[in-house]
Amino acid sequence: MVSEGMAAAIRIFENHSRGKMQNPQISSFPRSWQIALLSAVICCCAVFSLSPPACAKDKVDLLVTGCTVVTMDGQRRVIEDGAIAIRGDSIIAVGPRAEIGSRFESAQTIDAHGALVLPGLINGHAHAAMSLFRGLADDLALDEWLQKYIFPAEARNVSPEFVEWGTKLSLLEMLRGGITTYADMYYFEDVVARVTKDAGMRGVLGETVIDFPAPDNKTLEQAFAYAQKYLEHWKGDSLIVAAVAPHSIYTCSEKTLQDAAALARRNGSPILIHIAEARFELEQSRAKHGVTPVAYMERIGLLGPDVVGAHCVWVDQADVATLAHLNVGCIYNPSSNMKTAAGVMPVPEMLASGEPIGLATDGAASNNNQDLFEEMDLAAKLQKIARMDPRALPAKQVVELATINGARALHLEKTIGSLEAGKKADLIIIDTGAPHATPMYDPYSELVYALKASDVRTVAIAGKIVMKDRQMLTLDEKEILTKAQEYKIKIAASIAAPAPN
């Protein structure tokens, strides 16, 4: 079929030949020249009419442009005036704005000039629903805080509804502060998973197993049955990784620990547990088992590359080598460890061993907030003062803990933790124009020592925007805050009431 352009050119040639359309300049040429010239016109028309449009662009669902992209990829590229192309739930391309703009087009574009764009932050250890206990009992050692205040308060108050609203409160705080993935250990974890999924957030969520009667399951038999059903329900979900969470070696017997690990491994699920958090745990382990908590866990077959251990404070050189050899993810909780005077995790030595280490808040009860920007700042400063060495744990390493190394610690580094093609589109846009953030010389230093959670402007998870220009899109902020105040009244009354017989 002859194209319209070619047909028009042929008509020009025919009309000229018949004398219907004489051009004085062309008519002055020799006849052979006229034929050659008009033939060239026909050829050009044919080429431009039949060829596809030049520089056709690939369509994507979202473009983020004009920003400084802190990729956290293998080369740790920082791209000034960069851009990111997203299709579905994944990143298609990352690069300079001019390059991405020449290759892709989208109906939805976010202009992020003057901002940093970073992989979504990863909170490696939390007890989200405990945000409703924020400030309930402070300035106490860990064992006293747990045994005298938290466990009794949980027994009186924790229900599916409590977990729902407490988790929503924490998710609201986390999303506002740029956290897109978190690991959780609590009760009624199926409720936690549902709320997390509804909020559009990513979670590695562990159903707690503990030897004494818990709010959701009064016996171990019930606990394991609940956990099995929970694992089956969420298997293969795009946002939720269901896990089993034996609480610790001081609240679980050897058999409970081994049964919990076996349950998780039969289902291909992670194991979340507290490891060597406080001095009393180390002393009890040595007295009861003759070895450190890490050595005991290795001896009973608990440790492995599917384990994520929170704290790992009271570890010796042999323990560090064991954890690294078995590829156990370890999570650094500086605020919580400082507040309970639990100790200082030997992060530089563990990183040097190749240990995958993440960063975490530990929840809003032992810490009082879910602010990972504050954790980044304290993570660096705690290591420096503990060693009297300002070079210990520099800013770049801290940002790694909150992103790509945090993903490694959760064994999710193939899908999240950096901004590069093929990974999930979890990203945050951070304003840098506030007085406390101006000027900026180094983005890593800016992130750790200057920026605040309140500087996070927009959050996207799996390609979906969940907060835009500080406006929450998946959570009802007003309702959540109202419910939290209602629970405060109930909890305070329950603590003041006499203990049940």
pLDDT per position as a tens digit, 302-318 = 999 999 999 999 999 99
Mean pLDDT for 241-268 is 98
For the entire predicted model, the pTM comes to 0.88
Query: What are the residue boundaries of the structural domains of the chain, listed by start?
Result: 4-50, 121-416+470-482
- Give the pLDDT confidence score for residue 39 in this predicted structure: 58
Q: Is the pLDDT of residue 43 over 60?
A: no
Q: Is the pLDDT of residue 297 over 80?
A: yes
- Give the pLDDT confidence score for residue 138 in this predicted structure: 86
pLDDT per position as a tens digit, 435-493 = 999 999 999 999 999 999 999 999 999 999 999 999 999 999 999 999 999 999 999 99
Distance (Å, whole) CA 69 – CA 381: 25
DSSP 8-state class, residue 202: E
Residue 137 — pLDDT band, cuts 50, 70, 90? confident
Q: Is the pLDDT of residue 147 over 90?
A: no
- Give the pLDDT confidence score for residue 38 in this predicted structure: 52
- Give the pLDDT confidence score for residue 55 in this predicted structure: 62
Who's near 100: CB < 8 A, 6+ residues apart? 63, 65, 82, 83, 84, 85, 93, 94
pLDDT per position as a tens digit, 276-293 = 999 999 999 999 999 999
If one compares 234 and 50, the residue with the highest pLDDT of the two is 234
Residue 140 — pLDDT band, cuts 50, 70, 90? confident
- % residues pLDDT > 90 (the chain): 81
Q: Which amino acid is at 65?
A: T
Name the strand (E) or helix (H) holding 58: strand 58-60
pLDDT per position as a tens digit, 349-364 = 999 999 999 999 997 7
- % residues pLDDT > 70 (the chain): 88
- How wide is the angle at C-alpha 408 spanned by C-alphas 404 and 412, nearest 5°? 95
Residue 99 — pLDDT band, cuts 50, 70, 90? very high
If one compares 5 and 468, the residue with the highest pLDDT of the two is 468
- Give the pLDDT confidence score for residue 132 in this predicted structure: 95
Residue 494 — pLDDT band, cuts 50, 70, 90? confident
Which CATH number is associated with domain 121-416+470-482? 3.20.20.140
- Give the pLDDT confidence score for residue 32 in this predicted structure: 57
Distance (Å, whole) CA 177 – CA 181: 12
Residue 497 — pLDDT band, cuts 50, 70, 90? low
Q: 160-176 and 189-198 are packed helices; what angle lies between their axes, rounded to 10 degrees?
A: 40
The 3-state DSSP class for residue 126 equals: strand
Mean pLDDT of the chain: 91
Taking only Cα atoms into account, the Rg of the chain, rounded to an integer number of angstroms, comes to 30
pLDDT per position as a tens digit, 114-132 = 999 999 999 999 999 999 9
- Give the pLDDT confidence score for residue 498 in this predicted structure: 59
| β-pair partners for 240 | 203
Mean pLDDT for 172-199 is 98
- Give the pLDDT confidence score for residue 4 in this predicted structure: 47
Q: Is the pLDDT of residue 33 over 70?
A: no
Residue 21 — pLDDT band, cuts 50, 70, 90? very low
pLDDT per position as a tens digit, 476-488 = 999 999 999 999 9
Q: 372-387 and 395-402 are packed helices; what angle lies between their axes, rounded to 10 degrees?
A: 140
Mean pLDDT for 43-70 is 74
Q: How many C-beta atoms surround the C-beta of residue 129 within 10 A? A: 29
Closest of 162, 246, 174 to residue 209, by C-alpha:
246
Distance (Å, whole) CA 330 – CA 351: 10
Mean pLDDT for 107-111 is 95
